[in-house]
A and B are shown apart, each in its own frame.
Chain A
C-alpha cells in the first residue's frame, strides 16, 4: 500500500542520523564522508524551507489553474457540473501526486504534498456539489449527507497510508468530527461517538504497528488520536458553548449535558493523562509523551470550571510552580541515577537536533512572549486606573 519502499525510507533515515551524529562529533569527518556514500537513496528530498515554499507555490498554481478553468469554461454551469469537474480535478491531482512520488521520486518535497492536499480538497468539495447541491435544508440530521465527510475520512486515510503524510491523518480526524452531526442531534452522543471513532482508530493503529522503520509515523498518529479522544471527552474544551462559558456568559457544559455523562467525562479526563504518559514512557515515544503532557496540563487548567469552582488570579502561578517543580524533580531524579540514567531515561542532551530546536525556539518564543508580558502603552484617558479590572482580571479591586 505504501508507495515508498521500506529500504528507501530507511536509507534516508540513516542519512539524517549520520548528519546528526557528525554534527554532534560522534563521527569524524572522514567517517561521515565514507558512510554518507553508503546511504544514497533514490528519493528526492529537500530542506524544510524549500519544502514549505514549494508546497505554497504548488498550492497556488493548482488553485489558480482550477479557478481559471472554471472561470473560462464552466462559469455559468449548475453546481452539479461544477462538482463533477472538481471530481475530475481531484483525480488529476491524485494522478499527479502518484507520478511525482513514483516517477520523479519526490519525498517530502512540498510539490507532491500540495497535490495530495488539493486532491482531497477537490474530492470533498466535488462530492458535496455533485451529489448534495440543491437538496432542501433540513435542521434534522440527515444520514445520507454524511457521505461527504465519510469520503473525506477514507480518502485522507488513504493519502496517509500511501504517502505517509501525518497531516492527512489529522485531516481524516477533522472529517470524522463532522460525522456524528449527521447521525444524531444529541450533543452528548456526538461527543461519545467522536471519542469512540478515535478510540477505534487508536486500536487499529496500535494493532497495525509493526516493524521498526515506521514506528515514528505510527507514534505521531497515536499521539494525535490520544489528543483527539481527550478533546472529545473534555467538555470544558469541546463544548459548543465553551467560548461563551469561558467568557462568563451563556450556559455551562454542566447544564448542557446529562449529569451522568458529564461526570463520567470528568473521571476520564483525569484518567487519560496517566494512561497516555504511561504508554509514551513505556514505549519511549516522544510524541506520545508530549501528548500526555499536554492533556495533563489541560486537565489542570480545566478542572476548576469542570467542578464549577471559581478561578483565581493566582491559579496560573500555581500551575507554573507545579510545572517547574515537576521538571526539576524529574531532572534531579534522573541525574542522581548511575551515569545520570534511570530506567533507560536521561536528562542529558544526546542529539544535536534538540540543541537546534532549543535555539530556534528560544529566539522565536522570546520575540512572541513580550507581546503578552511587557506593558502596553499607557492609556491617555485620565480616568484610567491600575486595578479594578481595567487592565484585565476579574475586576475585584476598585481604584487607588
Chain B
C-alpha cells in the first residue's frame, strides 16, 4: 500500500482533514518540489569558492596590487557584509530567530571569512602584534561568538568554537616545553570552558538550540584528550578511569535524551581505549584476534539490546 493510498484511506476514516490530505498528497507527489536544500548548498559553495579565490588572489598578487588596494577591497567587502547584516537583522531574542532573508546567513558567513583573510594579510604584512597569532584567534573567537549570538548563526558559532580551540592550541605551542600532557590539559580546560559555558547559556535560555553544537564539540575533544592519555605508556590509569566515566556519562546522556550520537561516541571511544590497554603488551596474534572476536560479539549484543529498546522509535 503506497503512502498515497494510505492518505486516501485516512481521509475516508476521518483521521486527517481534506485540507491535510490535499497538502500531504501534494508533498508525496513532489508538488511542489522544494529546492530549498539545493539552493542553500549552492550559496554555501559559492561563498566558499569566492573566499578561497579572494585569499589566493591576495596572497599571489599582493605586491602588484599594493597594500592600500588590498586592504580597501577587503575592508569594503567586510563593511558591506556587516552593514547588510546589522541593517536587516531582526530584534535580538533569547530564542531561535529565523534569518530575515534567504541570503542573510551566507552574507554573515562571507563577512566572517573575509575578516579572517584580512587579519591574516594585516599581520603578515605589518606584523601588528609581532606574530602573536594567539591574540588574533582569541579576538576572532570573541567576535564570532558575538556575531553568532547576535544573528543566531550556527556557521559562525562553529567558527567561534574552532577559533577558540585554535587559540588554546596555539598558546601552548609558544610555551618552551609544550608536550602532549600540556595539550591534554589544555583540551580538558577547553572542554570545561565550552561545556560549562554552553550549559550556563542553555540554563539561561540564551539560544538554547546552540547547546547541541557545544555538546558535540566538547564530547569529541574530551574523548580525544582522554584517549591520548590512555595511549600513554605510563600513568594511564587515571585517564582510563576518566574515559570509562566519560563513556558512562555519554551513554546515559544519549539514552535519556535520545541523542544516539552520544551512544555511538561512548561505544567507539570506549572500545578503542579499553582495547588499547588490554592488548598493548601482547604479541600473540591468536590472542589478539580472539580478543577482537569476543569483544566485538559482546559489543554487538549490548548494542542490539540498546537498539531493540530504543532504535525503532528513534
Contact surface of A with B, Cβ cutoff 8 Å: 7, 10-11, 13-14, 17, 21, 26-27, 31, 34-35, 38-39, 44-50, 52-54, 56-58, 60-61, 63-65, 67-68, 71-72, 109, 111, 212-213, 284, 286, 289-290, 293, 297, 313-328, 330-331, 334, 341, 344-351, 354, 357-359, 361-367, 369-375, 377-378, 380, 386-389, 391-400
Option from B37, B60, B161, B213 in Cβ contact (under 8 Å) with A357:
B37
Question: Is B303 an interface residue when CB atoms closer than 8 A count as contact?
Answer: yes
User: Residue of A at shortest CB range from B166?
Assistant: A374
Partner of A345, one of B20, B33, B124, B155: B33
> For chain B residues 95-145, which have a beta carbon within 8 Å of chain A?
102-103, 105-106, 113, 116-117, 119-121, 123-125, 131, 133, 136-137, 140
Instruction: Report whether over half of chain A's contact residues are helix, strand or loop; otherwise say mixed.
Output: helix
* B163 x A374 contact (CB < 8 A): yes
Of all chain B residues, the one with the shortest Cβ separation from A334 is: B35
Q: B158 touching A324 by the CB < 8 A rule?
A: no
Question: Least Cβ distance of A337 to chain B in Å?
Answer: 9
- Known A-B contacts A14-B6, A26-B20, A378-B124; A50 and B263 likewise in contact (beta carbons under 8 Å): yes
Is residue B86 contacting chain A, with contact meaning CB distance below 8 A?
A: no
Cα(A350)–Cα(B158), bound, Å = 26
Contact A27 B32 (CB under 8 A): no
Contacts of B28 in A (CB 8 A): 17
Q: Tell me which of B45, B119, B311 has the highest count of chain A C-beta atoms within 10 A of its own C-beta.
A: B311
CA distance A10 to B57 in the complex (A): 53
Nearest CB in chain A: distance from B48 CB, A? 7
Mark each residue of chain B from 204 to 220: 1 if its CB lies under 8 Å from any CB of chain A, else 0: 00000000110011000
Does B278 have its Cβ within 8 Å of any Cβ on chain A? no
Q: Which of A14, A50, A58 has the most CB of B within 10 A?
A: A50
With an 8 Å Cβ cutoff, the count of chain B residues facing the other chain is: 107
Most buried by A among B36, B170, B264: B36
Contact present for A35 and B53 (CB under 8 Å): no
Residues of chain B with a CB closer than 8 A to A380's CB: 131
- Apart from the given pairs A317-B49, A324-B42, 16 other A-B contacts in the complex at a CB distance below 8 Å: A10-B1, A38-B10, A46-B311, A49-B261, A50-B263, A324-B106, A347-B39, A348-B34, A349-B34, A362-B155, A363-B157, A364-B158, A372-B52, A377-B173, A387-B61, A391-B124
Q: Which of the residues A328, A369, A386 comes within 8 Å of B124, measured between beta carbons?
A: A386
Instruction: Return B167 CB to nearest CB of chain A, in Å.
Output: 11
Decide yes or no: A317 and B53 within 8 Å by CB, A46-B311, A68-B290, A347-B102 being known contacts: yes
**Chain B residue contacts of A393, Cβ below 8 A:** 56, 59-60
Cross-chain contact of B267 among A45, A53, A286, A316 (Cβ < 8 A): A53
Per the 8 Å Cβ criterion, residues 166-217 of B in contact with A are 166, 170, 173, 212-213, 216-217
**Nearest CB on B from A286, distance (A):** 8
Select from chain A the residue with minimum beta-carbon distance to B286: A71
B38-A293 in contact (CB<8A): yes
What are 16 A-B pairs at a CB distance below 8 A?
A: A10-B3, A21-B27, A64-B296, A68-B286, A213-B2, A284-B33, A319-B49, A324-B46, A324-B47, A325-B46, A346-B35, A366-B155, A373-B52, A375-B120, A378-B133, A395-B60
B292 beta carbon closer than 8 Å to chain A: yes
Shortest 10 CB-CB contacts between residues of A and residues of B? A366-B158, A320-B50, A316-B53, A393-B60, A317-B53, A46-B311, A375-B120, A324-B46, A323-B46, A320-B49
Determine if B249 is an interface residue (Cβ-Cβ < 8 Å). no
CB distance from A241 to the nearest CB of B (A): 24
- Any chain A CB within 8 A of the CB of B281? no
Indicate which residue in B1, B52, B59, B300 contacts A58 across the interface (CB closer than 8 Å): B300
Name the residue in B47, B163, B213 with the highest tally of chain A Cβ atoms < 10 Å from its Cβ.
B213
Residue of A nearest to B148 (CB): A366
Provide the residues of chain B in CB contact with A395, threshold 8 Å. Answer: 60
Contact B293 A297, beta carbon cutoff 8 Å: no
**Nearest CB on B from A333, distance (A):** 11
Q: Which residues of A contact B173 (CB under 8 A)?
A: 377
Is there a chain A Cβ closer than 8 Å to B245's Cβ? no
Interface centre among B131, B155, B263 (most CB of A within 10 A): B155
> Is the pair A375, B133 in contact by a Cβ cutoff of 8 Å?
yes
Q: Which of B36-82 contact A (CB under 8 A)?
A: 36-40, 42-57, 59-64
* A373-B157 contact given A50-B260, A316-B49, A330-B39, CB 8 Å threshold: no
A321→B120 contact, CB < 8 A: no
Q: Choose one: A56, A64, A320, A326; the contact of B293 (CB below 8 Å).
A: A64
Report yes or no: A350 in contact with B32, Cβ–Cβ below 8 A: yes
Bound-complex Cα distance A378 to B216 (A): 30
By the criterion CB–CB under 8 Å, are B16 and A365 in contact? no
CB contact under 8 A between A397 and B52, given known A45-B312, A284-B33? no
